Amino acid sequence: MGKKRARWVWPVGIAAAGLGSLATLMLRGCWHRRMGWPIRYDDEFSYQVCTDCGIKRLYDDGAFRAYGPYGYDVEKLIARQRVAYQKHIERVEAEKSAKKARSARNAS
């Protein structure tokens, strides 16, 4: 005959998991589920604002979706996006020049 388990172990486990979930919810803060309509910042950028906490996120009008990190300062979000785009362009150009150099080496 095997060991008999205590009846209180299973309910305590469920309660601990529930308390862990509650603690995560309390520490997490706003979930940004209620975002307002997109607002046009300039000809290039739009953003959305969380109606609960006021945090902002860039919005892509063509894809109809928000993207990038959240932040309270739109100018910082746009500056970060421009830097990321510039790095992307530089990476693509470096890959193109490396590909040309490899094809020139293989041709000779």
Distance from C-alpha of 58 to C-alpha of 74, rounded to nearest angstrom: 8
The tokens describing 107, both together, are: 């041709």
Could you tell me if 40 and 46 are in contact, meaning their C-beta atoms sit under 8 angstroms apart? yes
Distance from C-alpha of 36 to C-alpha of 65, rounded to nearest angstrom: 12
pLDDT digits (tens, 9 = 90+) for 74-98: 999 999 999 999 999 999 999 999 9
Residue 3's pLDDT band (cuts 50, 70, 90) = low
The upper half-sphere exposure of residue 100, i.e. CA atoms within 13 Å in the direction of its Cβ, equals 6
